[in-house]
Amino acid sequence: MDTANFDAFLAVAATGSFSRAAEQLHLTQPAVSKRIATLEQQLNVRLFDRIGKHVDLTEAGRALKPRAELIINALNDTRRALGNLSATIQGRLRLATSHHIGLHRLPPILRRFTKAYPGVVLDIQFLDSEVAYEKVLHGEIELAVITLAPEVEAPIVATHIWDDPLEFVVAPEHPLADAQRVQLRQLAAYPAVFPGTTTFTHRVVNQLFERHQISPQISMSTNYMETIKMLVSIGLAWSVLPRTMVDSQVRVLQIPRTRLVRALGCIHHSGRTLSNAGQALIALLQDEAGYPALHMKD
């Protein structure tokens, strides 16, 4: 049985669309349809219900999906393990990162990596940290450099690379902008824009207010820090931003006895064999964080 058919099946299942699956796999839509049809013939079941443009997994398709993932992940893991027998660092490295880290933290590290290992092809996906976490958990990508969850559980392995201090910010014309000190309860009386409720950053900020038994007035939320900065800068609300994003467009508030920091780092799956390229990138990240030098196995 051709594993390419499983790849097509999983792509259609993930995207809910033959055309989007074709784009993801760099194939034509008829080629994807042919692979699905071949797989259905081999298994003698119907895997998808097609109603107009809507595509849903059948009961057989839902039963096949976790098994197909196991097959593909086991095959990829075997390839990596065999490839690692050579000390050569090459091949494709599937990496995910958040937009913020990809813009503000990773460029110098990736520059060093590509210069040191020209034989590696980086396949980078820009995703919300929470989506990247799930993709690592399900074996869809090898590594993710993201905002770390407040609690990381097995089988995910997390390596803390950066502390990312968060600042409370308002527009320069906000009523609190010129105050020397602002109390948290005082700030909560004004409209706020928060990171999306599903984000790790939201959890970090929300836990602070819960500890003080304060309910902020959240008027809007978004997953994108650049959007939050824009909304704050035009005076619509206050929020928190990474210190690296603070400039003249916003004003930092001084709030006594309040320190917000989120952890940024790298995650991988403990049950998945890391490629030589993946190990090399983790080593560079650890060097950035000041970890003791690690040596790859021969």
- Residue spans of the domains in the chain: they are 3-82, 90-298
184's tokens? 């948290």
217's tokens? 């007035």
Q: What is d(CA 249, CA 205) in angstroms, rounded to the nearest whole number?
A: 22
Helix and strand counts by DSSP (H, E) for the chain: 11, 11
Mean pLDDT of the chain: 90
pLDDT at 86 (0 to 100): 61
Closest CA to 280 of 115, 100, 124: 115
The answer to whether 267 and 144 are in contact (CB under 8 A) is yes
- Looking at residue 254, its amino acid is Q
Report pLDDT digits (tens) over 34-52: 999 999 999 999 999 987 7
Closest CA to 284 of 145, 163, 136, 84: 145
Secondary structure (3-state) at 157: strand
Does the structure show a pLDDT above 70 at 129?
yes
Q: Which CATH fold would you assign to the domain 90-298?
A: D-Maltodextrin-Binding Protein; domain 2 (3.40.190)
Q: What angle do CA 124, 141, 275 make, to 5 degrees?
A: 95
Kindly state the average pLDDT of the residues 194-205.
92
pLDDT at 151 (0 to 100): 84
Percent of the chain, pLDDT > 90? 75
pLDDT at 294 (0 to 100): 46
Which band of pLDDT confidence, cut at 50, 70 and 90, is reported for residue 210?
A: very high
3-82 CATH pick, 3.90.1150.150, 1.10.10.10, 3.30.390.50, 1.20.59.20: 1.10.10.10
Does the structure show a pLDDT above 80 at 63?
yes
The answer to whether 180 and 254 are in contact (CB under 8 A) is yes
pLDDT at 152 (0 to 100): 86
